[in-house]
Amino acid sequence: MFDFEKLIVYQKAKEARKQLYSKLQDKHGIDKSLSDQLRRSVLSIILNIAEGTGKATKADKKNFFTIARGSVYETVAIIDILRDDHVVSDKDHESLYVIFEEISKMLFGLIDSL
């Protein structure tokens, strides 16, 4: 098992991706470029957590965890846009928002600990 697989924030980020994809699976009217950007941003969270965990120095780890946190912000901004465009309901927006807010706080804790 790799170290990143043991991190709760990694596990939560993977689960958040599944929930996000599930909520958007049958939605129509999503702008293709926005959809592509959302997929990249949510994957960036997971991949930067994994890559950061494998880095040797605290500075390198911190950099990757910071990038992952930035991708959380990007993901939430896209979800906000999808709500404004009536693609995501207020209820789905709120549930996704809470999940990504928790991930952001966990990443901040990792960053702050380095």
4 neighbors 36 (Cβ within 8 angstroms): no
User: In the Cβ-directed half-sphere of 95, how many Cα atoms lie within 13 Å?
Assistant: 11
Verdict on whether the full-model pTM lies above 0.85: yes
30 band by pLDDT with thresholds 50, 70 and 90: confident
Q: How far apart are CA 113 and CA 95, in angstroms?
A: 28
pLDDT in tens, 58-83: 999 999 999 999 999 999 999 999 99
Q: How far apart are CA 62 and CA 110, in angstroms?
A: 8
CATH number for 30-113: choose from 1.20.1440.60, 2.70.98.10, 3.90.1300.10, 3.40.630.30. 1.20.1440.60
* Cα 6–Cα 112–Cα 99 angle in degrees, nearest 5: 55
pLDDT of 8 > 90? The answer is: yes
Phi, psi torsion values for 27, nearest 5 degrees: -85, 140
52 neighbors 65 (Cβ within 8 angstroms): yes
H-type alpha helices, the chain = 3-6, 8-24, 32-53, 58-84, 90-113
